[in-house]
C-alpha cells in the first residue's frame, strides 16, 4: 500500500510542478506532462517497469476523450461543415499520409509500415494548437477556422485509423518475425493492450471467423451501440434523474463508457471506437451536459497520466545515440507537412496572413500520434525500436510548435496588409461619421445613426460582412481601416466622428492612434473588450470608450433592483449614479494603470480601486435616499422595460 501511495505521489507531484510551468512558458499542458514523465523516468529514475502497467490504466483517458469528442459533435453541425471536413481536412490527411509513406518507403521500410508511419505523423496537436490560437485571439480568423476544421477531421479520423491498424497485423508479423505466409496461423483477436480476447470458456470470440464474419460482427456491435444510445440509455438517465442523487450521474456516465469498452474488447475491437459512436449518438441528448461535466475530470486526469507515462517510457538513449538524425527527421516532417498545407491554401483560397497561420500552425505531429504508436506496438504492427524513434520525433516536432508560431508572427509583420482582404473597394463617398467595423457592434451604431438622418461611411476588412450588408441594401466598402490611405479616402480629414468597432483589439488600438495623430480634433468613439483595453484606448486618444457588456450588465443590474422591491425610478437613479461614478473612476484609474504590471501586482491601482468602491457605496446610498424623498407620483413614473414577474416559459425553452 505504501509503495502504491508513493508512486501516486511521484506522478501527481511531477504533474503539479511541470504542467503549470509549461503553461506559463506558453508550451501547453501536453508538453508539460511529457516533461514531467521525462523527469521522473529517464532522468531521475523515480519510476521503472511499472510504467507500462500504469499506462494501461491511463489509456482509458483516451477512450473518455473520444467519447467527449463524439458527444460534442452534433450530427447536423457535422453535415453543415462537410465541405471543409471532407475537402480541407480529408485532403490534408490523405496527402500528408501519402507523402510520409513514400518517404518511409524510400528509407527502406515496407509499404504497410510506411502507411502506419504516415497515418501517425499526419495528425497534428489539437491540444497545443487550439490553446495557442485561443491565447493569441486567432481562433475566429479564417486561418483559425480552417485549422479547427482540419483538427476536427483528424480527431474523427482517429476512429477509422484505430479500426484499420489491426488489419495490418498479419503483414507486419511477416516483416517483424520473418515468418512465411504458409506457416502463419490465423491471428487471434487482439485488444488494445495486446492480449488475446477470450470469453469465460477460454475461447477467443472472433477466433476462426473469416473476414466477412469479422466485418459482420463489427457492424452488429456498432448497430447495438447506436440502438442502445437511442432507446435504452435515455430512459435510464430519466430514471436516475428522478432519484435526485447527483453521484448517480457520475456512476452512470462511467458505467456507459466502461461498459462499451468491455463490450468492444470482448469482440477484439477498439474501445475508443465504441465510445466515440456512443458519444455521437448522445450528442443531442438532454443529458449531454451532465455527461460532459461528469466525464471531463476523469478524462483530463487519466489523459495527463498517459502523457506522463509516454514521457517516462521514452528511450533517451536513442536520442543520445543519433541526435542529429532525429532532429533532421523532425524538421523534415515539419517541412513536408508545411508543403502540403501550403498547397491546400492555394486550392482553397486561403491567402495572406491566414495562409501562414494555417501552414505553420498544423506543421507539427500531435498527441494522438502517441496513442496510435502505442496501439500499433501492442498489435505488433510496429517494432519497439521504431516506435521509440517515432515517439521522440513526435515530441521534437511538438517542442518546435512555439517556434512555428513565432515564425508566423514574424512573417505577419513583414506582410504589407496584416489581414488579407483581396482587392479593396474604391471609396467614392464621404460623410460626417466613419464606422470602422460592421460586426454586431458596428451594425447597431450604423442603424441608429442612419435612421436618424445622418450619412455614414462603413469600412470593414471582412468580405463576408460586406456582402451581408450589401444584401440588406446597406452600402459599405471593403478596405482595411488601419491603413492611412483608406482612412483618407473615407474622409478622415473632414469627418466629425470616427467609430472604432473592430473585433481585433490590436487593430482598434492601432486605428485610434493613427486617427488621433492624423486629426487631433476628431471625436473618436471606440469599442473595448475589458478595462485593460479601455485604459489603452484612453491613453491612445479615444474620447468615448464603450465596453461591450457594460451597458447590458448595468441594465440587468437595474432589473435585479426592481425585483428586490425598488421602484422603477429608484432603480433608474441607482443605475445612473453607478454609470457616472464608473466613468469618473475609469479616468482616475487610467492614471495609475501600467500595461507592464499586472493589475493584481499594481499596489497603487488596487488601493485606489478599493477607495473608489467605498465612494460608490456611499454615492449609491445617498442617491437612493434622495430619490425616495423626490419620488414622483406613481402615474408619472417612467415605464421603460420591466422584467416579467414570473419566468417566460417560451423563452426558457429556447435557452
**Which among 220, 107, 105, 97 is positioned nearest to 164, based on CA atoms?**
97
Average pLDDT, the chain: 79
Cβ neighbours of residue 233 closer than 8 Å, sequence gap 6 or more: 256, 278, 282, 285
Contact 574, 568 (CB under 8 A): no
- Say if CB 165 and CB 379 are below 8 A apart: yes
- Phi, psi angle pair for 477, to nearest 5°: -120, 135
- Here the cell at position 248 is 448517480
* Share of residues in the chain with pLDDT > 70 (%): 82
**Cell of residue 317, nine digits:** 538513449
Cell of 405: 508560431
Residue 477 DSSP code: E
- The terminus-to-terminus CA distance of the chain in angstroms comes to 49
Strongest mean pLDDT among 56-60, 155-159, 189-193: 155-159
Residue 470 contacts residue 460 (beta carbons within 8 Å): no
Residue 437 near residue 502, CB atoms below 8 Å: yes
Q: How far apart are CA 555 and CA 535, in angstroms?
A: 23
Confidence of residue 229 (pLDDT cuts 50, 70, 90): confident
The stretch 109-137 carries a mean pLDDT of 83
| Chain position carrying cell 424623498 | 629
8 Å CB contact between 303 and 61? yes
Q: How many whole angstroms separate alpha carbon 431 and alpha carbon 452?
A: 14
| 244-250-254-257 Cα dihedral, nearest 10 degrees | 80
Q: Find the range with the poorest average confidence among 125-139, 378-392, 514-528.
A: 125-139
Domains defined for the chain, CATH in brackets: 2-180+214-410 (1.20.1530.20), 433-631 (3.40.50.720)
Q: What radius of gyration, in Å, describes the C-alpha atoms of the chain?
A: 30
pLDDT band at 524; cut points 50, 70, 90: very high
Residue with cell string 461498459: 259
* C-alpha to C-alpha distance for 477 and 458, rounded to whole angstroms: 6
Yes or no: say if 267 and 205 are a contact pair by the CB < 8 Å rule.
Answer: yes
Cell numbers representing residue 46 in the block: 523515480
Q: Which of 457, 440, 439 is nearest to 449 (CA)?
A: 457
- Check residue 420 and give left, alpha or beta (phi > 0: left; psi -120 to 50: alpha): beta
What is the tens place of the pLDDT at every residue in 246-302? 788 788 888 888 888 787 777 666 676 677 777 877 777 777 777 778 888 887 788
Question: Which class for 473: exposed (0-12), middle (13-18), buried (19 or more C-beta within 10 A)?
Answer: exposed
Residue 516: pLDDT above 70? Answer: yes
Residues 294-326, buried b or exposed e (16+ Cβ, 10 A)? bbeebbeebbbbbbbbbbbbbbeebbeeeeeeb
User: What mean pLDDT comes out for the span 489-502?
Assistant: 91
462-491 tens-digit pLDDT: 877 887 888 888 888 888 888 888 888 888
| Full 3-state SS string of 159-192 | HHHHHHHHHHHHHHHHHHHCCCCCCCCCCCCECC
Cα 541 to Cα 523: distance, rounded to the nearest angstrom: 9
Cα–Cα distance, 7 to 1 (Å, whole number): 10
Q: pTM for this structure?
A: 0.54
- Count Cβ atoms below 10 Å from residue 279 Cβ, excluding itself: 27
State pLDDT tens for residues 582-608.
888 888 888 888 877 878 888 888 888
In this predicted structure, what is the pLDDT of residue 616? 86
Give me 474's grid cell: 446597406
- Residue 330 and residue 117 in contact, taking contact as beta carbons nearer than 8 Å: no
402-428 residues labelled b (16+ CB within 10 A) or e (exposed) = bebbeebeeeeeeeeebbbbeebeebe
Tell me, letter by letter, the H, E, C secondary structure of 121-154: HHCCCHHHHHHHHHHCCCCCCHHHHHHHHHHHHH
Amino acid at each position: 500500500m505504501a509503495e502504491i501511495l508513493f508512486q501516486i505521489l511521484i506522478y501527481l507531484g511531477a504533474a503539479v510542478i511541470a504542467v503549470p510551468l509549461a503553461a506559463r512558458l506558453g508550451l501547453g499542458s501536453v508538453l508539460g506532462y511529457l516533461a514531467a514523465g521525462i523527469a521522473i523516468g529517464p532522468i531521475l529514475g523515480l519510476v521503472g517497469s511499472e510504467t507500462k502497467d500504469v499506462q494501461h490504466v491511463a489509456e482509458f483517458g483516451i477512450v473518455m476523450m473520444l467519447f467527449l469528442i463524439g458527444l460534442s459533435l452534433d450530427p447536423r453541425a457535422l453535415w453543415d461543415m462537410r465541405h471543409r471536413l471532407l475537402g480541407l481536412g480529408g485532403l490534408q490527411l490523405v496527402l500528408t499520409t501519402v507523402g510520409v509513406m513514400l518517404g518511409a518507403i524510400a528509407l527502406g521500410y515496407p509499404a504497410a509500415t510506411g502507411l502506419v508511419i504516415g497515418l501517425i505523423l499526419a495528425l497534428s496537436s489539437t491540444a497545443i494548437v487550439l490553446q495557442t490560437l485561443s491565447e493569441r485571439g486567432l481562433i475566429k480568423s479564417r486561418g483559425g477556422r480552417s485549422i479547427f476544421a482540419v483538427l476536427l477531421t483528424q480527431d474523427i479520423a482517429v476512429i477509422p485509423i484505430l479500426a484499420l491498424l489491426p488489419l495490418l497485423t498479419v503483414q507486419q508479423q511477416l516483416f517483424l518475425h520473418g515468418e512465411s505466409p504458409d506457416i502463419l496461423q490465423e491471428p487471434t483477436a487482439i485488444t488494445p493492450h495486446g492480449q488475446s480476447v477470450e470469453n469465460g470458456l477460454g475461447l477467443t470470440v472472433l477466433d476462426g471467423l473469416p473476414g466477412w464474419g469479422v466485418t459482420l460482427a463489427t457492424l452488429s456491435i456498432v448497430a447495438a451501440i447506436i440502438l442502445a444510445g437511442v432507446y435504452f440509455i435515455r430512459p435510464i438517465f430519466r430514471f436516475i434523474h428522478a432519484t435526485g442523487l447527483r453521484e448517480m450521474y457520475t456512476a452512470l456516465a462511467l458505467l456507459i463508457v466502461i461498459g462499451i469498452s468491455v463490450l468492444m474488447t470482448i469482440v477484439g475491437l477498439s474501445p475508443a471506437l465504441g465510445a466515440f459512436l456512443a458519444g455521437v449518438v448522445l450528442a443531442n441528448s438532454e443529458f449531454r451536459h451532465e455527461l460532459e461535466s461528469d466525464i471531463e475530470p476523469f478524462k483530463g486526469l487519466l489523459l495527463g497520466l498517459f502523457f506522463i507515462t509516454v514521457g517516462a517510457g521514452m528511450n533517451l538513449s536513442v536520442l543520445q545515440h543519433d541526435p542529429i538524425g532525429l532532429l533532421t527527421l523532425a524538421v523534415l516532417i515539419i517541412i513536408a507537412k508545411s508543403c502540403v498545407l501550403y498547397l491546400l491554401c492555394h486550392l482553397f483560397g486561403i491567402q495572406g496572413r491566414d495562409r501562414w497561420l494555417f501552414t505553420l500552425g498544423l506543421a507539427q505531429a500531435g498527441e494522438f500520434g502517441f496513442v496510435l504508436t502505442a496501439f500499433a506496438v501492442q498489435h505488433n504492427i510496429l517494432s519497439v525500436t521504431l516506435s521509440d524513434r517515432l515517439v521522440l520525433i513526435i515530441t521534437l516536432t511538438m517542442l518546435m510548435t512555439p517556434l512555428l508560431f513565432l515564425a508566423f508572427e514574424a512573417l505577419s509583420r513583414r506582410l504589407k496588409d496584416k489581414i488579407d482582404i483581396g482587392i479593396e473597394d474604391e471609396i467614392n463617398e464621404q460623410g460626417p461619421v466613419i464606422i470602422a467595423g460592421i460586426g454586431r457592434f458596428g451594425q447597431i451604431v450604423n442603424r441608429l445613426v442612419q435612421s436618424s438622418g445622418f450619412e455614414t461611411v462603413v469600412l470593414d476588412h471582412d468580405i463576408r460582412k460586406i456582402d451581408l450588408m450589401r444584401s440588406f441594401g446597406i452600402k459599405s466598402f471593403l478596405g482595411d481601416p488601419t491603413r492611412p490611405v483608406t482612412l483618407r479616402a473615407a474622409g478622415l480629414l473632414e469627418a466629425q466622428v470616427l467609430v472604432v468597432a473592430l473585433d481585433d483589439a490590436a487593430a482598434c488600438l492601432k486605428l485610434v492612434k493613427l486617427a488621433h495623430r492624423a486629426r487631433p480634433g476628431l471625436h473618436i468613439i471606440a469599442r473595448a473588450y475589458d478595462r485593460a483595453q479601455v485604459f489603452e484606448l484612453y491613453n491612445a486618444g479615444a474620447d468615448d470608450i464603450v465596453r461591450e457588456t457594460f451597458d447590458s450588465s448595468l441594465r440587468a443590474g437595474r432589473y435585479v433592483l426592481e425585483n428586490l422591491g425598488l421602484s422603477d425610478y429608484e432603480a433608474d437613479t441607482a443605475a445612473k449614479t453607478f454609470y457616472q461614478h464608473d466613468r469618473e473612476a475609469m479616468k482616475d484609474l487610467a492614471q495609475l494603470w501600467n500595461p507592464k504590471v499586472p493589475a493584481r501586482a499594481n499596489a497603487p491601482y488596487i488601493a485606489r480601486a478599493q477607495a473608489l468602491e467605498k465612494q460608490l457605496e456611499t454615492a449609491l446610498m445617498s442617491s437612493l435616499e434622495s430619490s425616495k424623498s423626490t419620488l414622483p407620483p406613481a402615474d408619472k413614473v417612467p415605464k421603460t422595460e420591466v422584467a416579467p414577474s414570473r419566468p417566460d416559459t417560451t423563452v426558457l425553452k429556447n435557452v
